[in-house]
Structure 1
Amino acid sequence: MLCQLTINNFAIVRFLELDFKPGMTSITGETGAGKSIAIDALGLCLGNRADAGTVRPGATKAEVSARFSLNDIPIAKRWLEDNDLDQDNDCILRRTVGSDGRSRAYINGNPVPLSQAKNLGQLLIGIHGQHAHHAMLKSEHQLTLLDSYANHKMLLDTVTAGYQRCKLIEKELKVLTQSQQERISRKQLLQYQVEELDEFNLSAGEFEEIEAEHKKLANGTALVEACKNELFILQENDQGSVESLINAGITQAHELESYDPLLKNVVSMLNEALIQVQESSSELENYLAGLELDPEHFTHLELRLSKTMELARKHHVSPNELAAHHLTLRTELSSLDSDEEALDELRQQVAASKDSYLVHAKKLSQSRSRYAKELDKQVTQSIHELNMPKGKFTISVTFNEELNSPNGCDTIEFLVTTNPGQPLQPLSKVASGGELSRIGLGIQVITAKKVSTPTLIFDEVDVGISGATAAVVGRMLRKLGDSTQVLCVTHLPQVAGNGHQHMFVDKKTKAGKTETSMTPLDRNQRIEELARLLGGDEITSNTLANAKELLYQTV
């Protein structure tokens, strides 16, 4: 519930501090006095757009603060807790606007983005403007009204989520499908390349082995001659092979050792050298014995080496990278096969998500149809009371599977007949301005009863209504005020007299400055204000008497 509203330097308001009570509060005042000023200021707190024109001339900034009691608003308390903004059972929304047009929003003293103030505001207050009945002529607004009355938010959220999922999967499918031709071309190329490389079947590290063996065989004759020369030097040279020279050195070293034992190590080292030379000779002999200079094998190696280099140039890689490149192409080809599987899977997901969406959309449509019939009866009864005794109101709910939207597959249309014998026709084609106001007001009051918003504002929604009809409207709003806080800006005494309390808006100009004030009225002041609304500036005993009747019927 709205408990208090404080306004500083907002438009033509210098300072206002207003306390609000439960029930219906009537707000009246002379034309142009700014009866909607408090509502405009409240809208600022709730996240409405602001500019420098909001600031009172001569002031540096405008500031509006609204305090709410959350005792009966558990959903708002949970929202504050979820956003770490909770503070006991009260909530204070504050908004400042500088003369440069910049604004700041606060919740319980914490600076917040404007979007958060809007989100919270929707849980605290519902505003019905004087042009709301014109919005009713639009199908999308009619759908919103019906859904608000049905209060099947969970079902609607499920349909919206299903629609979004469908669109997301369809988008993925579209992207994948658009690249399908590119994938087909790429796959054909990869299949050819992989088959060619599969046939050649170069293994990892094979190129290096081929290259080394080819180099050996290409230099085979020189290699044999070099090995034989080395053996000749090591052990076959009659004039002094390495082995014979070392043996001679060992003999001489033994002689030296006999002279001085300290030379014993020289003998050992020469013996080790002899062993190394003998082992080297043996290794060379074994190598020569096993060396095969097979021309056919050399030709095979040469062909394989040449093919490796040819394929490497073809694939723009180095020969030693060809085997790894082969594996990369094979992996890519495999992934393209996986893409085909993903495409089939996405098609199945699209079909499944559409089926799921339609199942929930049908449930939503059934809920709408059920509540539409309920609302039909109530609105029809309401317009009977509002001086349209022969009127009939019906909501048409048409389900169409092709009409996929976040709100389901329904087309909603408000149909009405105001005179006997006339067929039901769309609201926009039948109702006159006054009739539209009455029908719209009836719908707003009825749907407001079903909405959990604890405070409702009706800003001159009774335009185009007068007389006995206005009295019925007043009683409707008062009854609504028994369960919900209602603020009603009105120019009709029959409506204003039904308020549990009454506030008067006055505008005065002093020293060239205009200022608006808003004050609560006591019983006598209310009678005078109702008399003014009845008779204008001249208040007579008759208008006072009529005013008392209007007031005493309700208080």
Structure 2
Amino acid sequence: MLCQLSINNFAIVRFLELDFRPGMTSITGETGAGKSIAIDALGLCLGNRADANTVRPGASKTEVSARFSLDDIPLAKRWLEDNDLDLEQECILRRTIGSDGRSRAYINGNPVPLAQLKSLGQLLIGIHGQHAHHAMLKSEHQLTLLDSYANHRLLSDAVAAGYHRCKQLEAELRQLTLSQQERIARKQLLQYQVEELDEFDLKPGEFEEIEQEHKRLANGTELIASCQAGVELLSEGEELNIEQLLNRAVTLAQQLESYDPALANVNAMLNEALIQVQESTSELQHYLSGLELDPEHFAYLEERLSKAMQLARKHQVGAPLLAAHHEQLKAELGSLDDDEHKLAEMAQQVEANRQAYLAHAQKLSQSRGRYAKELDKLVTQSIHQLNMPKGKFCISVTFNPEMMSVNGCDQIEFMVTTNPGQPLQPISKVASGGELSRIGLGIQVITAKKVSTPTLIFDEVDVGISGPTAAVVGRMLRSLGESTQVLCVTHLPQVAGNGHQHMFVNKFNKGGSTETSMTPLDKEQRIQELARLLGGDTITSNTLANARELLQ
């Protein structure tokens, strides 16, 4: 339930703080006073779009906050929990709009995107505007009204999910089908390339090995000469070599250590150096013993290296990457073979999902048919009460499997006849403006009783209604207010008099600027306001008596 609305510097409102109570609240005021201004401000808290023109001239920003009690709104509580927002028994929505047009939204003090504000707002308040009757002429809105009354959300969700799955699979199948000729051409090219690389059969890492061995053999003479020179320098030189010199140094270090143990490290390091020299000599000798210059093997390596580089240039990859490229081409060729099987499998999947979707859509259609009959009776009774005693309302639900959509396969048409003997016809062709208002209002009140939204706003939905019909409308809204909080902006005294409470909107000039106020009325003030609505500027004893009658 909406408990409080605070408005700062919104349009012609400087400041308003309004407390709301359960039941039906009537909102009236003179023409042009801004009766809907609180509704417009509340709309900002529900995520409606806004711009810099919203800000009152001379102010830096507009700020609107709405406080709700969550006692009887389990869906809103669950939404807050799911979105990790502070959950208490109350919920505060706040919106600010700066003079530069920048907007910020908050839920329980937490900054949130505007989409989240709108998502939560739909669970807290339902707004029925004065143009809702005209929207009712559109088939998609008629479908929305029927589904709102039926409240078969699980069926609707299953149909929507099935539809999206069908569209996804159809898109994949279409893509596979459209690219079939491209795949054939690509497959022929890949087969040729893979066969060529299969024949060469370069293994991963082989190019680097060939390149290294080729380099070694190409420099074989220099390797042998350098290794022999190294061995001679290290230990086999007749006149002088490093091993001889180190042996002398080790002997000298041993003598020094015997004189002074502090030189033990020098002796140890020289011994280590001698060992390293001896091991290096052994390694070089072993390498020389295995080093062979094989011209035939060298020619083989040179030919394979040249072929690898040639194929790499042809395939526009680096030679070290040729083996990996070969594997990629084989994998792609395999996937193209798989696509042929996928095409057939996906066609079967598309048909299977289409049948599953149609099964869900058929169940949804049957549910719509059941609730349409129920709604037919209720709306017909309602328009009888609204001074259309011979009127009849009927919802046509036609299932067409060729009309697949996210909402199912149903064509919905609101049908009506307003005079006896006339056949049912689409509401857009039969109903006059006044009749449309009465039918639309009846549907809105009936559907509002079924939905779980705790607060409903009716913004001048009684346009085109007057006299005894207006009194019936008032009683309908009051009856709705017994179980749901109802805010009703109206110009009809018969409707306003049915409110459990009454608020008056007034526009005035103060300090050279225009302001709007909104104040609750006590019983005597309500009588005066109803008398004004009944008689205009001239309030007589008769209009006052009529006003008292309305309140009774």
Q: TM bucket by the smaller chain?
A: 0.7 to 0.9
State the Cα distance separating 1:542 from its structure 2 match. Answer: 1.2
Alpha-carbon distance change, 394 to 324 in structure 1, aligned in 2, over 3 angstroms = closer
For residues 184 and 374 of structure 1, the distance between their equivalents in structure 2, rounded to whole angstroms, comes to: 58
SS in 2 for 1:517: strand
Give % identity.
Answer: 80
Alpha-carbon distance change, 200 to 94 in structure 1, aligned in 2, over 3 angstroms = closer
State the Cα distance separating 1:189 from its structure 2 match. Answer: 2.2
Structure 2 counterpart of 1:175: 175
For residues 534 and 4 of structure 2, the distance between their equivalents in structure 1, rounded to whole angstroms, comes to: 30
1:202-254 deviation per Cα after TM superposition (whole angstroms, max 9, x unaligned): 77799999999999xxxxxxx9xxxxxxxxxxxxxxxxxxxxxx9xxxxxxxx
Pairs within 5 Å for 1:67-82:
67-82=67-82
Structure 2 counterpart of 1:496: 496
| Aligned AA (2:393) | F
1:256-284 deviation per Cα after TM superposition (whole angstroms, max 9, x unaligned): xxxxxxxxxxxxxxxxxxxx9xx99xx99
For residues 544 and 459 of structure 1, the distance between their equivalents in structure 2, rounded to whole angstroms, comes to: 26
Q: Say how many residue pairs are matched.
A: 496
For residues 520 and 494 of structure 1, the distance between their equivalents in structure 2, rounded to whole angstroms, comes to: 18
Pairs within 5 Å for 1:502-521:
502-521=502-521
Structure 1 counterpart of 2:265: none
Structure 1 counterpart of 2:342: 342
TM-score, structure 2 normalization: 0.80
| Aligned AA (1:117) | L
| Aligned AA (1:34) | G
Counterpart contact for 1:498–1:550, Cα < 8 Å: yes
SS in 1 for 2:84: coil
State the Cα distance separating 1:181 from its structure 2 match. Answer: 1.7
SS in 2 for 1:516: strand
Alpha-carbon distance change, 459 to 206 in structure 1, aligned in 2, over 3 angstroms = closer
Structure 2 counterpart of 1:141: 141
State the Cα distance separating 1:191 from its structure 2 match. Answer: 2.4
State the Cα distance separating 1:180 from its structure 2 match. Answer: 2.2
Structure 2 counterpart of 1:252: none
Given the alignment of the two structures, is residue 119 of structure 1 paired with residue 116 of structure 2, yes or no?
Answer: no
More moved, 392-401 vs 511-520: 511-520
State the Cα distance separating 1:190 from its structure 2 match. Answer: 2.3
Alpha-carbon distance change, 183 to 474 in structure 1, aligned in 2, over 3 angstroms = same
For residues 313 and 15 of structure 1, the distance between their equivalents in structure 2, rounded to whole angstroms, comes to: 78
SS in 2 for 1:365: helix
Counterpart contact for 1:47–1:121, Cα < 8 Å: yes
Pairs within 5 Å for 1:197-276:
198=198
TM-score, structure 1 normalization: 0.80
Structure 1 counterpart of 2:476: 476
Alpha-carbon distance change, 29 to 343 in structure 1, aligned in 2, over 3 angstroms = same
Structure 1 counterpart of 2:528: 528
Structure 2 counterpart of 1:45: 45
Given the alignment of the two structures, is residue 452 of structure 1 paired with residue 457 of structure 2, yes or no?
Answer: no
Alpha-carbon distance change, 207 to 146 in structure 1, aligned in 2, over 3 angstroms = closer
For residues 547 and 203 of structure 2, the distance between their equivalents in structure 1, rounded to whole angstroms, comes to: 105
| Aligned AA (1:534) | L
State the Cα distance separating 1:310 from its structure 2 match. Answer: 7.7
SS in 1 for 2:382: helix
1:433-461 deviation per Cα after TM superposition (whole angstroms, max 9, x unaligned): 10000000000000110110000000010
More moved, 347-356 vs 443-452: 347-356
SS in 1 for 2:17: strand
Structure 2 counterpart of 1:257: none
For residues 164 and 363 of structure 2, the distance between their equivalents in structure 1, rounded to whole angstroms, comes to: 18
State the Cα distance separating 1:309 from its structure 2 match. Answer: 8.4
More moved, 24-33 vs 319-328: 319-328
State the Cα distance separating 1:77 from its structure 2 match. Answer: 1.1
Alpha-carbon distance change, 20 to 179 in structure 1, aligned in 2, over 3 angstroms = same
Counterpart contact for 1:4–1:66, Cα < 8 Å: yes
Structure 1 counterpart of 2:538: 538
| Aligned AA (2:405) | S
Structure 1 counterpart of 2:382: 382
Alpha-carbon distance change, 304 to 410 in structure 1, aligned in 2, over 3 angstroms = same
More moved, 408-417 vs 343-352: 343-352
| Aligned AA (1:504) | F
SS in 2 for 1:423: coil
For residues 212 and 332 of structure 2, the distance between their equivalents in structure 1, rounded to whole angstroms, comes to: 32
Pairs within 5 Å for 1:409-488:
409-488=409-488
| Aligned AA (1:130) | Q
| Aligned AA (2:6) | T
For residues 323 and 104 of structure 2, the distance between their equivalents in structure 1, rounded to whole angstroms, comes to: 65
Structure 2 counterpart of 1:406: 406
For residues 210 and 16 of structure 1, the distance between their equivalents in structure 2, rounded to whole angstroms, comes to: 87
State the Cα distance separating 1:29 from its structure 2 match. Answer: 1.0
Alpha-carbon distance change, 440 to 214 in structure 1, aligned in 2, over 3 angstroms = closer
Given the alignment of the two structures, is residue 25 of structure 1 paired with residue 25 of structure 2, yes or no?
Answer: yes
Pairs within 5 Å for 1:297-312:
none
Which structure: larger Rg?
1
| Aligned AA (2:132) | A
For residues 4 and 210 of structure 1, the distance between their equivalents in structure 2, rounded to whole angstroms, comes to: 84
For residues 512 and 214 of structure 1, the distance between their equivalents in structure 2, rounded to whole angstroms, comes to: 98
More moved, 534-543 vs 133-142: 534-543
More moved, 326-335 vs 449-458: 326-335
SS in 2 for 1:123: helix
For residues 165 and 210 of structure 1, the distance between their equivalents in structure 2, rounded to whole angstroms, comes to: 53
SS in 2 for 1:404: coil
1:58-105 deviation per Cα after TM superposition (whole angstroms, max 9, x unaligned): 222222111110000011111112222224201111112222222221
| Aligned AA (2:537) | D
SS in 1 for 2:416: strand
SS in 2 for 1:28: strand
Counterpart contact for 1:77–1:86, Cα < 8 Å: no
Alpha-carbon distance change, 211 to 426 in structure 1, aligned in 2, over 3 angstroms = closer
Alpha-carbon distance change, 194 to 513 in structure 1, aligned in 2, over 3 angstroms = closer
Alpha-carbon distance change, 387 to 303 in structure 1, aligned in 2, over 3 angstroms = same
1:140-182 deviation per Cα after TM superposition (whole angstroms, max 9, x unaligned): 1111101100111121111111111122222222233332222
More moved, 309-318 vs 353-362: 309-318
| Aligned AA (1:493) | P
SS in 2 for 1:488: strand
SS in 1 for 2:403: coil
For residues 522 and 210 of structure 1, the distance between their equivalents in structure 2, rounded to whole angstroms, comes to: 102
| Aligned AA (1:155) | L
